[in-house]
Amino acid sequence: MTYAIVECGNKQYKIKKGSVIDVELLDKNKNDLLEINTILLASDGKDVKIGTPYVKSALIKCRVLDNIKDKKVVVFKYKSKSNYHKKTGHRQKYTRLVVEDIAL
């Protein structure tokens, strides 16, 4: 079982071939190819390579499925006895990637 732990947008993801991950918004369009070379750990089932800080010979090839928005998070601020109410919302933007190949 081949898997890798990669770093993208200061977050770490465990990925396998064919897995779909949501990373922070990247400046890519739908069906663009993306190569990730910030691989912290890579395993092919028998051998495990640990990077210091990154594995130099590994490369992940991904394809952008879409740029999406997450569910809305409602932020409600309230102060008692002062008649202060403020309701706002936030929707985080993500880029959805599918892993096509893990080259060790």
Give the pLDDT confidence score for residue 69 in this predicted structure: 96
Task: Name the band, by pLDDT with cuts 50, 70 and 90, for residue 104.
Answer: confident
Confirm if 16 and 26 have CB atoms less than 8 A apart: no
Q: What is the pLDDT of residue 62?
A: 95
Is 6 buried (19+), middle (13-18) or exposed (0-12) by CB count in 10 A?
buried
For residue 50, the model assigns a pLDDT of 93
Query: What is the reported pTM?
Result: 0.83
Distance CA 77, CA 32 (A): 40
Identify whether the C-beta of residue 68 lies closer than 8 Å to the C-beta of residue 33.
no
Report the number of distinct structural domains present in the chain: 1
Segment 61-73, tens digit of pLDDT? 999 999 999 999 9
Q: Which domain holds residue 49?
A: 3-103
Instruction: Give yes or no for residue 57 having a pLDDT over 90.
Output: no
